[in-house]
């Protein structure tokens, strides 16, 4: 895993030229208008998930994340960039999301940009959405004034649906029990 720090790049050294590769990769993927250079108390708050890394589980940070590998789980961060060869499968909650690779699940962000190289199969809750020509977007776009905090409402809706489903199952079980009792009573 590579971590960008300050103006330079620090890494857990897996190979000698990792810092140069990370810097070149960041410059290439982010472009000049968008970089992961946010600072918090003098420390970088940016993380890179390299293409050889696959994570099953949830990822949560207050910083920015560039994913070039695969994540099967939920991601919560400030800025999420899904690289061209990356895959994210799960709930994404971020202030801003840029998709250049594959995203499946639900995306909740104030700003979402789906670039031409991407394939998105998601329900997208957003304040602002940009879908470039050539992008593959299958799913639904739902504008929201507060897509990040609507999550609490969605959670309560899910709980209400689960309760209703449990009540329906109980009614079905009771009806099934009565239907098995009727033939026995009719025979007697």
Q: What is the number of domains present in the chain?
A: 2
Are 61 and 127 within one domain? yes
pLDDT of residue 186: 54
Are 23 and 39 within one domain? yes
Prediction pTM value: 0.61
Are 34 and 49 within one domain? yes
Domain of residue 180: give its range: 149-188
Are 90 and 178 within one domain? no
Are 180 and 121 within one domain? no
pLDDT by 10-residue block (mean), the chain, 188 residues: 39 38 49 48 74 92 94 95 96 96 95 96 94 94 87 59 80 82 56
pLDDT of residue 179: 76
Are 153 and 165 within one domain? yes
Are 56 and 87 within one domain? yes
Concatenating the DSSP letter of every residue in the chain gives -EEEETTEEEE--SSTTHHHHHHHHHHHHHTTT-----EETTEE-EEEE-TT-EEES-EE-SSEEEE-SEEES-EEEEEEEE-TT-EEEEEEEEEEEEESSEEEEEEEEEEEEE-TT-EEEEEEEEEEEEE-TT-EEEEEEEE-SSTTTHHHHHHHHHHHHHHHHHHHHHHHHHHHHHHHHHHHHHH-
pLDDT of residue 153: 56
pLDDT of residue 173: 87
Are 32 and 122 within one domain? yes
pLDDT of residue 6: 39
Are 132 and 55 within one domain? yes
pLDDT of residue 65: 95
pLDDT of residue 102: 97
Are 9 and 35 within one domain? yes
């Amino acid at each position: 895993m590579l971590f960008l720090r300050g103006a330079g790049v620090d890494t857990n050294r897996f190979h000698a030229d990792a810092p140069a590769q990370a810097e070149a990769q960041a410059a290439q993927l982010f472009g000049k208008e968008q970089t992961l250079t946010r600072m918090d108390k003098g420390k970088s708050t940016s993380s890179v998930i390299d293409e050889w890394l696959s994570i099953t589980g949830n990822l949560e940070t207050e910083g920015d994340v560039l994913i070039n590998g695969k994540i099967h789980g939920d991601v919560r961060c400030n800025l999420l960039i899904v690289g061209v060869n990356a895959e994210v499968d799960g709930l994404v909650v971020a202030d801003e999301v840029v998709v250049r690779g594959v995203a499946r699940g639900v995306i909740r962000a104030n700003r979402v940009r789906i670039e031409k190289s991407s394939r998105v199969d998601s329900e997208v809750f957003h304040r602002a959405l940009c879908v470039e020509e050539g992008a593959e977007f299958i799913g639904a776009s739902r504008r929201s004034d507060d897509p990040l905090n609507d999550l609490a409402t969605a959670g309560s809706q899910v709980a209400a649906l689960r309760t209703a489903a449990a009540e329906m199952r109980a009614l079905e079980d009771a009806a099934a029990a009565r239907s098995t009792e009727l033939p026995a009573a009719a025979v007697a």
